Amino acid sequence: LTEKSLKCLNVLVTAGPTREFFDPVRFISNPSSGKMGYALARVASLKGAEVCLVSGPTHIEAPPGVSLIPVVSALEMHSAVVERAPRCDVVIMAAAVGDYRPDVQSESKIKKGDKEITIRVVPNPDILAELGRQKREGQVLVGFAAETDDIVENARLKLLKKNLDMIVANDVRDPRSGFAVDTNRVKLIFGSGDVVDLPPMSKDEVALKIFDYVEELVKRREGF
């Protein structure tokens, strides 16, 4: 990593889960630890990029030199990302954004009782799909796909629907990949139709691989 191959590039990475509160002490979330996103931010910074890391709540410290924007909910992540993405050359969304939020957030703690309660949820905005619609020329957009079935097919549909250059698909049922573990087993899927199937490796190594391909995509954009 001595070669500063991402020098002069602005890179935005998202990481971690979101929390969708329905009262002051209770929320809907997912098991994302932030490890994958923080590894990406660390590698981008070591490669010389100016890195902004928009992160949901995690227990990880921001890598040195990375500017951390902490957020809690999907709506907060949406505002933070949509505001900054237009001036970024590369955006990588590794965050596990909550697809739904409770439609009402009670100001007081809901009292425990014997009766059933129902939490109604409404869809959150799809941040990456919005970035895909606004993608400017030269910008490289990378998404992740957390899948349990038909990994490549489902990830490819997300790549097309969200207008991405590359999607990183991980099988979240495999104990060596996905949420919270230190390793990941991913397939990189490109707009061209190419699929690169990588063996299980540490999330730091996955991040290095991802940036090898991102650098290629950036070069192609610049017309090298």
Smallest distance from the beta carbon of 172 to ligand PMT, in angstroms?
6
- Give the angle subtended at the CA of 214 by the CAs of 189 and 179, to the nearest 5°: 60
127 is in an annotated binding site: yes
Does position 188 interact with ligand PMT (CB under 6 A)? The reply is: no
Q: Which of residues 31-50 bind ligand PMT (CB under 6 A)?
A: 32-37
CA 130 to CA 212: how far, in whole Å?
25
Number of H helices, E strands in the chain: 5, 14
Q: Which is nearer to ligand PMT, 110 or 195 (CB)?
A: 195
Q: Which of residues 60-99 bind ligand PMT (CB under 6 A)?
A: 74, 93-97, 99
162 is in an annotated binding site: yes
Q: Which is nearer to ligand PMT, 35 or 209 (CB)?
A: 35
Size of the site for ligand PMT (CB under 6 A): 28
Exposed/middle/buried for 23, CB within 10 Å: 0-12, 13-18, 19+? middle
Strands 20-23 and 26-28, how do they pair?
Answer: antiparallel
Dihedral sign (CA 141, 52, 5, 64)? negative
Contact 157, 147 (CB under 8 A): no
Does position 156 interact with ligand PMT (CB under 6 A)? The reply is: no
Q: Which is nearer to ligand PMT, 9 or 97 (CB)?
A: 97
109 is in an annotated binding site: yes
Smallest distance from the beta carbon of 87 to ligand PMT, in angstroms?
18
Nearest CA-CA partner of 89 in 44, 156, 155, 43: 44
For 93: left if phi > 0, alpha if psi spans -120 to 50, otherwise beta; the answer is beta
CA 131 to CA 48: how far, in whole Å?
24
Which residues, in sequence order, are CB contacts of 112 under 8 Å at separation 6+? Answer: none
Does position 55 interact with ligand PMT (CB under 6 A)? The reply is: no
Q: Which is nearer to ligand PMT, 8 or 21 (CB)?
A: 21
Does position 6 interact with ligand PMT (CB under 6 A)? The reply is: no
Looking at this protein, which amino acid is placed at residue 191?
G
Out of 156, 158, 187, 209, the residue judged to bind ligand PMT by CB under 6 A? 158
- Which residues are part of the catalytic machinery? 30
Does position 144 interact with ligand PMT (CB under 6 A)? The reply is: yes
Residues contributing to the annotated binding site for CTP:
99, 109, 125-128, 144, 158, 162
Residues contributing to the annotated binding site:
99, 109, 125-128, 144, 158, 162
Residues making contact with ligand PMT (CB under 6 A): 16, 32-37, 74, 93-97, 99, 124, 126-128, 143-146, 158, 170, 172, 178-180
